[in-house]
């Protein structure tokens, strides 16, 4: 007789695979049926604090530490506005926004949370580009990120773009 407990991980995996597949399909359909807005075409978006999230400068800016207090943190990765726009366009074309947003969790963590986690880490781009290209499990909880259909150069460009976001500390788990 089949034990129901042994089926739980299989059912969870199949459910996750269905959600990821549906999200990717929705992103592709949305991409093909909508024209890019002026702000996404230019690569400039407005963040919740009213600043544009399109560039990361080498100067310092406010971030949040694990206690939720604002502190000055240095940018770990800088990209020109043109590079940011090109990389955001790549992220849109690869369907990254089906599971991620810049400042809030969808299926996966917010890009700003990832930037916070890897800020100051000299291996951040390499670690993140490897995760994008080959997939990863357990970094942000039980939800795995499957390997993406990208070249190593695209994975590095996407990782650099994610790490160039204004870092925001993720909320503490309750």
Domain assignment of residue 100, yes or no: yes
CATH assignment at residue 96: 1.10.760.10
How many other CB atoms sit within 10 Å of the CB of residue 170? 16
The answer to whether 32 touches 95, Cβ cutoff 8 Å, is no
Domain assignment of residue 173, yes or no: no
Q: In the predicted model, is pLDDT for residue 167 greater than 80?
A: yes
How wide is the angle at C-alpha 26 spanned by C-alphas 21 and 32, nearest 5°? 130
Rg (C-alpha) for the chain, rounded Å, is 17
Domain assignment of residue 97, yes or no: yes
Tens of pLDDT, residues 107-119: 999 999 999 999 9
What is the pTM for the complete model shown? 0.58
> How far apart, in whole angstroms, are the C-alpha atoms of residue 164 and residue 55?
7
How many other CB atoms sit within 10 Å of the CB of residue 64? 17
The answer to whether 158 touches 94, Cβ cutoff 8 Å, is yes
Domain assignment of residue 169, yes or no: no
Domain assignment of residue 104, yes or no: yes
Residue 138 burial by CB count (10 A; 0-12/13-18/19+): exposed, middle or buried?
Answer: exposed
Tens of pLDDT, residues 95-106: 999 999 999 999
Per the structure, the complete domain to which residue 82 belongs is given by 4-163
Total count of domains within the chain: 1
Q: What are the helix (H) ranges across the chain?
A: 4-33, 38-42, 81-93, 111-118, 124-134, 152-163
> How far apart, in whole angstroms, are the C-alpha atoms of residue 41 and residue 164?
18
> pLDDT at position 86, please?
96
The answer to whether 132 touches 94, Cβ cutoff 8 Å, is no
């Amino acid at each position: 007789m089949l034990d129901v407990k042994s089926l739980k991980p299989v059912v969870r995996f199949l459910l996750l695979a269905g959600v990821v597949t549906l999200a990717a399909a929705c992103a592709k359909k949305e991409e093909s049926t909508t024209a890019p807005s002026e702000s996404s075409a230019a690569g400039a978006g407005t963040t919740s604090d009213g600043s544009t999230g399109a560039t990361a400068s080498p100067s310092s800016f406010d971030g949040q530490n694990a206690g939720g207090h604002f502190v000055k943190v240095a940018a770990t990765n800088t990209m020109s506005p043109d590079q940011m726009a090109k990389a955001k366009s790549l992220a849109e074309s690869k369907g990254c926004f089906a599971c991620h947003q810049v400042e809030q969790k969808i299926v996966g963590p917010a890009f700003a949370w990832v930037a916070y986690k890897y800020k100051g880490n000299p291996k951040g781009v390499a670690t993140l580009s490897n995760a994008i290209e080959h997939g990863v499990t357990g970094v942000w909880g039980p939800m795995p990120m499957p390997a993406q259909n990208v070249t190593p150069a695209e994975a590095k460009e996407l990782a650099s773009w994610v790490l160039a976001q204004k870092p925001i500390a993720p909320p503490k788990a309750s």
